[in-house]
Amino acid sequence: MATTTLTKAEDRTAVGHAARIDHVSKSFGGPEGQQLVLDDITLDVAPGEFVTLLGASGCGKSTLLNLVAGLDRPTAGSIETPGGRPALMFQEHALFPWLTAGKNIELALRLRGVPKSDRRQEAERLLELVRLGGAYGKRVHELSGGMRQRVAMARALAQDSQLLLMDEPFAALDAITRDVLHDELTRIWRETNVSVLFVTHNVREAVRLAQRVVLLSSRPGRIAREWTVDIDQPRRIEDTAVAELSVEITEQLRGEIRRHGQH
């Protein structure tokens, strides 16, 4: 029987992982019966580690992220997040348009139990962390796409989780804004030591950001291969080492797509 365990740990270093995905499978019912989306996934994310999940569209990356977030339950296997419930950041910013940038962050702080008297100061600190100092009172429509994603990142960090789940958060942004936010995310990850599980279909993005890249096969999603990215940070997306590893991973990805008959 499948279980999803979301528990607090006093010492996450002693536990040894921020997330443990143990032989997880997921099926969905449909007109043609049960469809297997994920098949026997086993993966650990270490404390402070940055892992990217990479694969073709429909391979189950977002499904796996939702399972880790506790938004759904696996059909088989178990998931543990010893540091508590993870924070989740989507492709769309999902900010409340009737609230200011600061109030969007304060909402997450309120749900976390932060006293009202402390919320504004903490919201302003988080806005400074994402390089949006002075934007506390701005409405969502006054912010650019990149600024909205920065606020969404600050709101996710406001949950004070030890695991940040990111589902293609920069996919809708232009190349220059995405490049800037790659730098910002790397800086924030290094400053906060939060663990990150990041979903993308962009190979260079995966290599630029991660310490480890995990490639999922096409449906049903299985772990096809992993790479340790031994390239010093900060990285640039055009760096030779990033480009070379991206070529290798792209060839593997193409092979998985061909093997499963997808185009």
82 with 172, same domain: the answer is: yes
Shared-domain flag, residues 111 and 222: no
Q: What is the dihedral of CA 216, 218, 220, 221, to 10 degrees?
A: 10
Position 108 confidence tier, pLDDT thresholds 50, 70, 90: very high
Total domains in the chain come to 2
The residue from 160, 175, 202 where one domain ends is: 160
Q: DSSP character for 53?
A: E
Confidence of residue 5 (pLDDT cuts 50, 70, 90): very low
The mean per-residue pLDDT over the stretch 177-203 comes to: 92
More confident residue, 138 or 94: 138
Asked whether the predicted pLDDT for residue 262 surpasses 80, the reply is no
198, 145: one domain: no
Q: Do residues 70 and 16 share a domain?
A: yes
Q: Are residues 81 and 174 in the same domain?
A: yes
Res. 137: pLDDT tops 90:
yes
Say yes or no: 34 and 21 in one domain.
yes
* Tens-digit pLDDT profile for residues 17-49: 999 999 999 998 866 777 899 999 999 999 999
Q: Is the pLDDT of residue 16 over 90?
A: no
Q: 67 and 170, same structural domain?
A: yes
CA distance 96 to 217: 36
Last-in-domain residue among 104, 127, 160: 160
Mind listing the pLDDT tens digit for each residue in 209-243?
Answer: 999 999 999 878 999 999 999 999 889 989 999 99
For the entire predicted model, the pTM comes to 0.87
Tell me, rounded to whole angstroms, the distance of Cα 199 from its chain centroid.
6
* pLDDT, tens digit (0-9, with 9 covering 90-100), for 152-161: 999 999 998 9
Query: H helices of the chain, where?
Result: 12-15, 61-69, 101-112, 116-129, 145-157, 175-192, 203-209, 240-259
Where in the sequence is the domain holding 145, given as residue range(s)? 95-160
> Per residue in 36-93, pLDDT tens?
999 999 999 999 999 999 988 888 899 999 999 999 999 999 999 988 889 998 877 7
Shared domain check, 173 and 45 = yes
Residues 243, 118 within the same domain: no
Domain CATH number, residue 8: 3.40.50.300
8 and 135, same domain (yes or no): no
Cβ-Cβ contacts under 8 Å for 253 (sequence gap 6 or more)? 54, 55, 56, 203, 215
pLDDT at residue number 40? 95
**CB–CB of 226/212 below 8 Å?**
yes
